[in-house]
């Protein structure tokens, strides 16, 4: 069974083995990655965290967990030109540096093992965490409490004043949402690091994990364009056109489709 299938099997298990599924994504990009070694590191982390947590109700342990992770070196990797290693879980566990989503997935795995209630929040631009029912979220990069005002400021810094805070931004992240977001992050990281084949692997995984959106079709179409696969590019552009509700985007897609050879044509 190849790493992609193992990832999907973990995703489809009941309950989904989200952390392990994410590890198999790392194996897909690097055959030398050994998930057993990563699980040994997580076992060590679990023992270390468990020994330092205060004697508090489980519902109050999420923030101490995140603060301990920070104390032992887990931090956001915000270099100007990021490499895929900032998103791959095996590399984050090894380096203790990574994107918010990766740090959050490690925290969620530790919380699951320690029976600490914690869930992901699919916040745009910066993945967050939350104790179910709490009136605030937690930043996986340090454990800071974020209230609605803080979340609005986070949006402002990342997207400017035209993006208001919406209820949908605070939705609980499902395993599907997390794995698709991870795949999209890696698709982008491999693309900006000039690895179109690796980026295409990530793009295809987004589709295999669940429903794709217009941006997913457009991203994959651009990869097919770079790889000089016009028929595959046409397929994705046509699907993007069907999904798009933006009149200007629809015109541009139609114009782009005209420049491609028709199905069955010589190219």
According to the model, what pLDDT value does residue 263 have?
65
Residue 165, classed as helix, strand or coil, is coil
Please tell me the distance from the alpha carbon of residue 135 to that of residue 149, in angstroms, as a whole number.
Answer: 12
Q: 8-58 pLDDT, tens per residue?
A: 999 999 999 999 999 999 999 999 999 999 999 999 999 999 999 999 999
According to the model, what pLDDT value does residue 262 have?
75
pTM of the model: 0.94
Q: Give the residue from 265, 266, 211, 264 showing the smallest Cα distance to 239.
A: 211
According to the model, what pLDDT value does residue 266 have?
44
- How far is CA 199 from each of CA 155, 193, 194, rounded to the nearest angstrom? 27, 9, 9
According to the model, what pLDDT value does residue 173 have?
97
According to the model, what pLDDT value does residue 249 have?
94
Q: Reply yes or no on whether the pLDDT at 205 is more than 60.
A: yes
Using an 8 Å Cβ cutoff, are 35 and 23 in contact?
Answer: yes
Residue-averaged pLDDT of the chain: 94
Could you tell me where the DSSP H helices lie in the chain? 3-12, 18-29, 35-52, 62-71, 89-95, 100-114, 148-159, 175-192, 196-209, 214-226, 230-243, 247-258
> In the structure encoding, which two tokens stand for residue 89, read together?
């879980």
Set out the domains of the chain in order of their start, with CATH numbers: 3-170 (no CATH), 175-258 (1.25.40.10)
Q: Reply yes or no on whether the pLDDT at 267 is more than 50.
A: no
Q: Reply yes or no on whether the pLDDT at 125 is more than 70.
A: yes
Percent above pLDDT 90 for the chain: 91
Q: 69-113 pLDDT, tens per residue?
A: 999 999 999 887 899 999 999 999 999 999 999 999 999 999 999
């Amino acid at each position: 069974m190849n790493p992609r299938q193992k990832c999907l099997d973990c995703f489809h298990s009941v309950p989904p083995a989200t952390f392990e599924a994410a590890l198999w994504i790392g194996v897909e990009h690097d055959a030398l990655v050994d998930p057993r070694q990563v699980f040994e590191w997580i076992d060590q982390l679990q023992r270390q965290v468990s020994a330092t947590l205060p004697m508090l109700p489980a519902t109050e342990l999420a923030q101490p967990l995140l603060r301990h992770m920070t104390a032992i070196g887990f931090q956001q990797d915000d270099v100007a030109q990021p490499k895929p290693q900032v998103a791959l879980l095996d590399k984050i566990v090894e380096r203790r540096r990574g994107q918010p989503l990766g740090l959050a997935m490690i925290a969620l795995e530790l919380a699951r093992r320690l029976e600490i209630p914690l869930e992901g929040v699919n916040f745009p631009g910066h993945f967050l965490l939350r104790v179910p029912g709490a009136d605030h979220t937690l930043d996986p990069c340090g454990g800071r409490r974020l209230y609605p005002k803080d979340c609005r400021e986070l949006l402002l810094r990342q997207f400017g004043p035209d993006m208001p805070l919406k209820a949908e931004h605070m939705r609980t992240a499902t395993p599907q949402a997390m794995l698709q977001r991870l795949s999209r992050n890696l698709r982008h990281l491999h693309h900006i690091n000039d690895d179109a084949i690796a980026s295409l692997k990530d793009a295809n995984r987004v589709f295999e994990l669940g429903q794709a959106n217009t941006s997913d079709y457009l991203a994959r179409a651009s990869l097919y364009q770079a790889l000089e696969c016009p028929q595959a590019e046409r397929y994705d552009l046509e699907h993007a056109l069907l999904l798009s509700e933006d009149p200007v985007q629809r015109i541009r897609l139609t114009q782009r489709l005209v420049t491609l050879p028709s199905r069955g044509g010589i190219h």
